[in-house]
A and B are shown apart, each in its own frame.
Chain A
């Protein structure tokens, strides 16, 4: 009896359905879930005490601190930049708007190693500002400023990418309405624009933060890997791993993994508020859906 059932769509054949679901679940478990499990298994292979010993080590603590400090600087700066860029790009028409957006997105396509090398040639001794900074006694590379700058490069597009499509879709009517009612620019931004982009903004900030805290390639070039001084947590993972302190490396990795899981949870929650959808690339083939037209 077909009565009351939805007619089958493409791929509703039970055999195909089961095969595909099984394929995806098995591969997903092997390739994505297994690494997650192995991290915690290894981290706790010497029991909770072994785990605690690594975490309690001054070098690990210092790496955690350095990672947090880096994020505390890089993320807010990137957020301000992201808001400013999105405001300029979506609320005004000026020549080169699209090009500017492409330039902002460059860090997404560039290998983090390239980013690190590029920073050497600006602030290193053989770089543009290096000799000048060196004679002034300012240390950028192999110190916190270099780590922060490299992190900012890698994550520059994160907030912009979330805000631009959303603010483009929202148009300028609300801001124009507020302005026509006599509101100042800041007032318009804080009481009209910001409340309507807050979830997308937070979404961008969360992703930006995860990347800053987890960045490895770019930071490993500019940090100098000085144990207990310029080692961020991901660099510390590498250091311990190469020292054959496998448990320690995985214990440090476990902290970063928890951060990743928290990030994903926050992402899911924010997506429920409608964030993240606008940033999905508009690559749909022509599909006029009359039911969706508003």
Chain B
């Protein structure tokens, strides 16, 4: 099912949570809504589900206007952040709930058969008689997913699906969710504040800030060509060096860099720690090492430039370097944004 959001607006009391968001999600796509807290991502997800009503704009499921269809009849599967499993029902009863309350009559055997299938799908065979409090967090997450899938939803919506889990469990469940998605081919939208999770899992990432979409695209597009300084900073560690741009050329401590398209005036140069190299001499920004930080996969240098700005860069672990060493930062890649 293809989903389209058309200039959707949501205001809470006086606070505008979502400012005219338009978004197309193709049938069978797995899309991440990524943003910091307060960026409106959960509100958008809840509006798609029908758990909030939009104050303006439209939400379309296929060709049908779903904006005012109540959540009961919208046919979405929603996985809540804290799962919202019914504590007084067993795992099997939780999964079967949607089928029991459905307008479509099913026999007990049909429900039981489908519940068994779903338990198998989420690899929880044999746990159907347990209560939610008797299983682990990762298992609860899978029950919540099975419960949402049981109603054959047109679209699957997940709110911070891995937010409450340990790092290890989180990684496994991520891969597994991707597999289930590929197997069922159901249009899926999930919310996260974790860039790694979004990039790892999604076909397409929609980055939000302050109720607006700042960029959307494949993981490659948003990583390689961040549209704004916000996206650049939000996706990972960055260094910022101040520069001035004139006629498409940025100058920084005597170094000139290509800044085509950037207006004249003060600008910020953003670099990832891997975008810099450490050399003893050559073209680049002169700097002094202030600290060497060793990590399992390499070495990170904390340096201070000639103009007094600080930066961090990654070097191979065998690099011979110590605090106090002087050298040059060579710029391999960078992005310039007007300040």
Contacts and interface: CB of A to CB of B under 8 A. Distances in A.
Contacts of A176: 51, 71, 78, 80, 84
Interface in A184-202: 184, 187, 191-192, 195-196
Interface residues of B, number: 26
A195 B88 contact: yes
Nearest to B46: A176
Q: Which of A178, A182, A184, A187 has the most CB of B within 10 A?
A: A182
Contact of A180 (B71, B82, B86, B103): B71
A178 to B, nearest CB: 7
B151 interface: yes
B84 A182 contact: no
A184 B86 contact: no
A183 interface: yes
Nearest to B76: A180
Nearest to A195: B88
Nearest to B75: A182
Contacts of A183: 72, 97-98, 101
A181 B74 CA distance: 9
Interface in A211-229: none
A192 B89 CA distance: 9
Interface in A261-290: none
Contacts of B51: 176, 180
A177 interface: yes
A182 B73 contact: yes
Contact of B80 (A177, A187, A195): A177
Q: Which of A173, A184, A187, A195 has the most CB of B within 10 A?
A: A173
A168 interface: no
A179 interface: yes
A196 B87 contact: yes
A179 B72 contact: yes
A80 interface: no
A180 B71 CA distance: 5
B97 A173 contact: no
Contacts of A174: 84, 86
B49 interface: yes
Contacts of B76: 180
Q: Which of B71, B72, B76, B102 has the most CB of A within 10 A?
A: B72
Q: Which of A180, A182, A196 has the most CB of B within 10 A?
A: A180
A192 B151 CA distance: 17
B98 to A, nearest CB: 3
B101 A182 contact: yes
A180 B151 CA distance: 10
A181 B87 contact: no
Interface string B73-109: 1101110101010111000000001100111000000
A198 B293 CA distance: 57
Nearest to B97: A181
Contacts of B151: 181-182
B147 interface: yes
A266 B151 CA distance: 41
Interface in B211-244: none
Nearest to A180: B78
Interface string B36-51: 0000000000000111
Contact of B82 (A173, A182, A192): A173
Nearest to B159: A173
A192 B98 CA distance: 12
Contacts of A195: 86, 88
A187 B87 contact: no
A282 to B, nearest CB: 21
A181 B147 contact: yes
A182 B98 contact: yes
A173 B71 contact: no
A164 to B, nearest CB: 19
Interface in A137-184: 173-174, 176-184
Contact of A178 (B49, B97, B102): B97
Interface in A3-31: none
A113 B260 CA distance: 84
Contacts of A173: 80, 82, 84
Contacts of A192: 86
A181 B98 contact: yes
Interface in B29-75: 49-51, 70-74
Nearest to B144: A177
B193 to A, nearest CB: 19
Contacts of B102: 182
A196 B148 CA distance: 21
B137 to A, nearest CB: 11
A196 B147 CA distance: 19
Contacts of A178: 86, 97, 101
A177 B101 contact: no
A40 B74 CA distance: 64
Nearest to A175: B84
A177 B78 contact: yes
Contacts of B88: 195-196
A79 to B, nearest CB: 20
5 contacts: A177-B84, A180-B76, A180-B148, A181-B97, A196-B88
Q: Ordered nearest first, which 5 A-B pairs have the shortest CB separation? A: A181-B98, A173-B84, A183-B101, A177-B84, A195-B88
Given A178-B97, A178-B101, 5 more contacts: A180-B77, A180-B148, A181-B101, A183-B97, A192-B86
